[in-house]
Amino acid sequence: MKLIPICALTVVTALSALSYASAAPNCTRPAKLSIPDGKTASDDAMKAAQAKLAPYAKEMSAYLHCLSDEIKNGTAEYDSVAAEWKTQSDAFKNTPAK
């Protein structure tokens, strides 16, 4: 029986974490803020966009913090699973053939 090297699992897990992070179920990404064209926008349009910037920045900061937490949690879980895999893989390799 061939076992997948731990480095290959690390690469797959890292790629999976990136995919997961973009779709983290507990993190809500704010809608992209539409910025008016400064060359053609009216004063009112620029003021309206400016008023939306602080709330957008706050929401985006919360979203990024959430993603960071999700990645940390996923990394901790992966480290635990990888350690358990190593322990069990080593036990398997050291067990006489049946």
Average pLDDT of the chain, as a whole number: 85
Rounded to 10 deg, the angle between the 43-93 and 6-22 helix axes is 150
Domain boundaries, the chain: 41-68
- Per-residue pLDDT tens for 57-71? 999 999 999 999 999
pLDDT category at 22 given cuts 50, 70, 90 is low
47-82 residues labelled b (16+ CB within 10 A) or e (exposed): eebeeeeeeeeeeeeeeeebbeebeeebeeebeeee
Question: pTM score, two decimals?
Answer: 0.63
Look at residue 78 in the predicted model and tell me its pLDDT: 97
